């Protein structure tokens, strides 16, 4: 049995929640598709196809990439990170070749198959798939990392270790000694500190109390209110039903300058402008499908609460806001006005900060209670209709092995009873929309993409007009 030098690092309550909420049909990992040019701008450069060697040179800079999950029996404590004694880089970086003719439709189907398969929970929770064989010679990297391991914002930080701001790149100093996995703890070593709490009495004597006695200090009222918020009934839409394991997706690229122009003209934020495009796209899609067009759609928007001191640190530092997008028959200007008022009110009432504080109560809660909270997300009445994630990325070109990164397509996970999700990431002057859907519930995601494209075009035209 490992001795006192066993290494482990407990997951935070936020990180662990993504494990508790996960279901077989809803793997909660973040997928991003990176499209690189085929060659290298540096003579002899390895290009993006040689990213495995880049990871090999730099993986010591991100220790989490060689750690796996160790669960504690009966959920008496949160899972912990331990070194994977059987770590094999080849198990995490795969290669696939598209058969001729290597067209875009083939690539989309292949990407969705990759994103739909669950990560192996026995290994570190990430993988990269290098896809070649495209007709234009480009190289595609499909990157996946579990939400328990990293949130969307810090994943950009981690990828800056694998991507370079110049074609020349760099080779970091190697570690001072070869990596050796540290022994993992036994279950008893993890559980024992939870069973007894050593305290000092008023008389100076040390007393030993069962840790379960401390539950009276837990903020049960706050946790109860959190559960009540999650159970608030939402107006269900056609894609708010039990989802299956299949995924389909589409992408849309919009110049970031259009959103910035709307920000300057209407005094809103770039995120408000993005939400206005989503709102207009939903309205057009609902109208084209026939039937009732809802006046409002409830949207969950993850919000980073990562401070400057947390920059570059792995782990989830996210909260969120729930807002209602206006999807009725109004102009885009009116949608933008209403969204700006709504998000302004949420910021003034500090909903995101309050949600973060409320989520922080989970640090006090027994892990078994968080397991129940995770299962509550499967309640068809809970939460929002759709998840819209907007992550700012670097506004300059990045490179891998001398090959320029041309496009970045984000694909957020689908949550129970939420068969449609939208993720947006900005990179080098463009905003990339990634749509993920359950084809059984949303067979026409391509039509939704077309409506978003129309909405984006109208917003671009609106931003270009003069006057106010």
pLDDT given for residue 306 in this prediction: 38
Per-residue pLDDT at 196: 57
Higher pLDDT, 314 or 65: 65
d(CA 372, CA 458): 44
Q: Residue 155's pLDDT is what?
A: 46
Is residue 239 packed enough to be buried (19+ CB in 10 Å), middle (13-18) or exposed (0-12)?
A: buried
Quote the pLDDT of residue 320: 63
Question: Residue 63 pLDDT more than 80?
Answer: yes
Contact 208, 198 (CB under 8 A): yes
Is pLDDT larger for residue 218 or for residue 46?
46
Lowest-pLDDT choice from 43-47, 223-227, 231-235, 297-301:
223-227
pLDDT over 60 at 134, yes or no: yes
Q: Is 26 left (phi over 0), alpha (psi -120 to 50) or beta?
A: beta
For the ranges 108-117, 241-250, 380-389, 400-409, the maximum mean pLDDT occurs at: 400-409
What's the average model confidence in pLDDT over 92-114? 94
Q: Token digits for 75?
A: 């959920």
Q: What is the pLDDT of residue 359?
A: 44
pLDDT at 413: 85
pLDDT tens digits for 285-319? 999 999 889 999 998 886 543 344 444 444 433 44
Superfamily of domain 9-162: Chloramphenicol acetyltransferase-like domain (3.30.559.10)
Domain ranges of the chain: 9-162, 215-390+423-464
Same fold, 9-162 and 215-390+423-464: yes
CATH architecture of 215-390+423-464: 2-Layer Sandwich (3.30)
- Mean pLDDT across the stretch 40-65? 93
CA distance 100 to 112: 19
pLDDT at 345 over 70: no
| Cα–Cα distance for residue pair 250/10, rounded to 1 Å | 37
For residues 252-276, give the mean pLDDT.
Answer: 93
Q: Which of 289, 273, 285, 323 is nearest to 303 (CA)?
A: 323
pLDDT tens, position by position, 156-203: 445 667 899 999 998 899 999 999 999 999 988 888 877 754 444 444
Q: Mean pLDDT across the stretch 256-279?
A: 93
The pLDDT score that the predictor gives to residue 305 is: 39
**Percent of the residues in the chain that have a pLDDT greater than 90, as a whole number:** 53
Enter the tokens of residue 461.
């035209």
Nearest Cα to 394, choosing from 150, 59, 155? 155
Q: What is the pLDDT of residue 468?
A: 44
Q: Minimum mean pLDDT among 7-16, 112-121, 190-199, 436-445: which range?
A: 190-199
Left, alpha or beta for 213 (phi > 0: left; psi -120 to 50: alpha)? alpha
Question: Is the model more confident about 59 or about 313?
Answer: 59
Residue 332 in contact with residue 459, Cβ under 8 Å? yes
Burial class of 94 by CB neighbour count within 10 A (0 to 12, 13 to 18, 19+)? middle
- 367-384: per-residue pLDDT in tens? 544 444 444 444 443 468
Q: What is the mean pLDDT of residues 110-115?
A: 92
pTM of the complete model: 0.84
Reference 113, options 126, 101, 131, 125; nearest CA is 131
- What is the residue-averaged pLDDT of the chain? 81
Contacts (Cβ under 8 Å, ≥6 apart) of 438: 239, 243, 244, 246, 247, 248, 414, 419, 420
At 236, the pLDDT band (50, 70, 90 cuts) reads confident
CB 455 within 8 A of CB 281: yes
User: What per-residue confidence (pLDDT) applies to 38?
Assistant: 96
pLDDT at position 119 is: 92
**Burial of 175: CB neighbours in 10 Å, binned 0-12, 13-18, 19+:** exposed
pLDDT over threshold 60, residue 419: yes
């Amino acid at each position: 049995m490992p001795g006192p030098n066993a290494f482990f690092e407990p997951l935070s309550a936020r990180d662990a929640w993504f494990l508790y909420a996960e279901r077989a049909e809803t793997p909660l990992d973040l997928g991003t598709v990176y499209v690189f040019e085929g060659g290298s701008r540096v003579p002899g450069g390895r290009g993006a196809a040689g990213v495995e060697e880049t990871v090999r040179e730099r993986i010591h800079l991100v220790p989490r990439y060689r750690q796996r999950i160790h669960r504690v029996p009966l959920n008496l404590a949160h899972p912990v990170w331990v070194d994977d004694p059987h770590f094999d880089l080849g198990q995490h970086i795969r290669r696939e070749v598209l058969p001729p003719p290597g067209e875009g439709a083939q690539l989309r189907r292949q990407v969705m198959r990759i994103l739909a398969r669950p990560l192996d929970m026995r290994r570190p929770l990430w993988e990269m798939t290098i896809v070649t064989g495209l007709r234009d010679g480009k190289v595609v990297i499909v990157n996946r990392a579990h939400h328990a391991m990293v949130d969307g914002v810090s994943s950009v930080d981690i990828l800056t270790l694998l991507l370079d701001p110049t074609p020349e790149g760099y080779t970091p100093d190697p570690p001072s000694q070869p990596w050796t996995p540290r022994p993992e703890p036994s279950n008893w070593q993890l559980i024992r500190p939870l069973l007894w709490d050593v305290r000092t009495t008023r008389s100076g004597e040390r007393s030993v109390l069962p840790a379960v006695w401390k539950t009276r200090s837990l903020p049960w009222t706050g946790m109860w209110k959190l559960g009540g918020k999650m159970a608030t009934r939402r107006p269900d839409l056609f894609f708010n039903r039990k989802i299956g394991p299949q995924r389909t997706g589409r992408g849309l690229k919009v110049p970031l300058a259009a959103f910035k122009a709307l920000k300057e003209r209407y005094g809103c934020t770039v995120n408000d402008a993005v939400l206005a495009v989503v709102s207009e796209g939903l309205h057009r899609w609902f109208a084209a499908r026939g039937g009732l067009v809802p006046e409002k759609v409830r949207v969950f928007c993850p919000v980073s609460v990562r401070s400057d001191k947390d920059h570059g640190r792995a782990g989830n530092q996210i909260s969120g806001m729930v807002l209602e997008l206006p999807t009725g028959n109004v102009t885009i200007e009116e949608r933008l006005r209403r969204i700006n008022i709504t998000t302004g009110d949420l910021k003034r009432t500090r909903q995101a900060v309050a949600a973060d504080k409320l989520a922080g109560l989970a640090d006090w809660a027994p892990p078994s209670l968080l397991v129940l909270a995770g299962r509550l997300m499967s309640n068809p009445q809970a939460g929002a209709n759709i998840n819209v994630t907007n992550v700012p990325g670097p506004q300059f070109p990045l490179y891998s092995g001398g090959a320029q990164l041309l496009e970045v397509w984000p694909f957020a996970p689908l949550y129970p009873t939420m068969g449609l999700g939208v993720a947006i990431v900005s990179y080098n002057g463009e905003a990339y929309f990634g749509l993920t859907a359950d084809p059984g519930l949303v067979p026409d995601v391509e039509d939704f993409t077309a409506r978003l494209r129309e909405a984006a075009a109208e917003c671009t035209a609106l931003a270009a007009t003069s006057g106010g």
